[in-house]
Amino acid sequence: MIFRPQRYRTFLGFLLGVIISVIALGTAFFFFQSNINEINQQKIQEIKEIAVEEYVQSHPVKLIYIATSDKKAGEVLTDQDLIPAEISQDLFPADAITEPSSVVGKVIKCDISKNTALTCSLLYDEKDYPDDMRLVEYTAINIPQKLEPLEYADIRIMFPNGLDYIVLSKKQIKDIQRQSAENPKNIIWFHSNEEEILRMASAIVDANLVEGTKLYAVPYVAPEIQGEAVRTYPSNPEVLDLILQNPNIVKKAVTELEIRNRAMFEDRINEDFQNSGRNKVFSDNTDSITISPDGGEDIEVEAGTRLEDKL
């Protein structure tokens, strides 16, 4: 049996007590620090929530629908073109779209960019078209290079004496097929009502009767802010009577104007090739076309020949 001095045993006890105290204090400090961090995070989160709540109360928002992509004037909206978004109540448009089902199937009046807030003033209902509205196709109109589908243009007629009239104003061009070496015609499509169809028929016949007259389109620069031009072309009552007596005269006039436009196109291409030192693309004997009037024999018409001289 080993007997240690009293002082040695006292030192060991003191040392053991110090070790136990340090462990206890370390454990308490660890839990205290963990709780402090958690408490601080909770306080930060509470402050954030209070700040957001105060901002929302002082800056109320409302639900609006915006476009998911860029859209062109004349396109029809689908449910995939709309997504909800929040906007400040102070900036909320009076005619904003708040119910997507109410605008699906409507048509856009002007070009809009992605994320544009949709309003009633930007849309119109396709079913509101008049009963006499038709999609018409014309091949006698000269089309400028910069004109693109879904843009707006005036249809004008220019006489050789310099007189220039607006036949139709601010028509949206639904589609275009341009004249080329393979395609002999310019083709343009747009909507017209019965009165506009008759005005165009009168202008086409006038253009055929007066040598050197041309029909052409002039695009708008900013159709969403530019008003519709005033139509100045006076329909020819004699021509309208002639159309009523012989509706086929419009088809004959269109054919003559197509021939003229084709001849001008080929002359322009040949001139460009010759100016660059190359041979002409089109020969001189291609400026004619054979037409078949309803109920009549085939007629070959040369460019520059008026149809009434052949009939």
Over the stretch 140-183, which tens digit does the pLDDT of each residue have? 899 998 899 999 999 999 998 888 999 999 999 999 998 777 77
At 141 the pLDDT is: 92
- 198 and 87 inside one domain: no
Number of domains in the chain: 2
- 114 and 207 inside one domain: no
- Give the residue carrying structure tokens 């009633």: 120
Q: Answer whether 308's CB lies under 8 Å from 300's CB.
A: no
Structure tokens, 160: 């050789």
Query: For residues 260 and 263, what is the distance between their CA atoms, to the nearest angstrom?
Result: 5
Which residues contact residue 193 at a Cβ distance below 8 angstroms, ignoring those fewer than 6 apart?
130, 132, 133, 134
- Domain of residue 182: give its range: 134-255
- 234 and 169 inside one domain: yes
67: in domain: yes
Last residue of a domain, one of 255, 278, 302: 255
- 218 and 118 inside one domain: no
Closest by Cα among 208, 211, 206, 213 to 163: 213
Q: Which residues of the chain have pLDDT under 70?
A: 1-5, 8-9, 33-34, 126-129, 242-244, 246-249, 257-258, 260-262, 264-266, 268-269, 272-274, 279-311
- 121 and 141 inside one domain: no
- 91 and 139 inside one domain: no
- 251 and 138 inside one domain: yes
263: in domain: no
269: in domain: no
17: in domain: no
**CA-to-CA separations, 302 to 139, 255, 265, 290, in angstroms, rounded:** 18, 11, 15, 9
At 199 the pLDDT is: 85
289: in domain: no
At 165 the pLDDT is: 93
pTM for this model (two decimals)? 0.51
DSSP 168: E
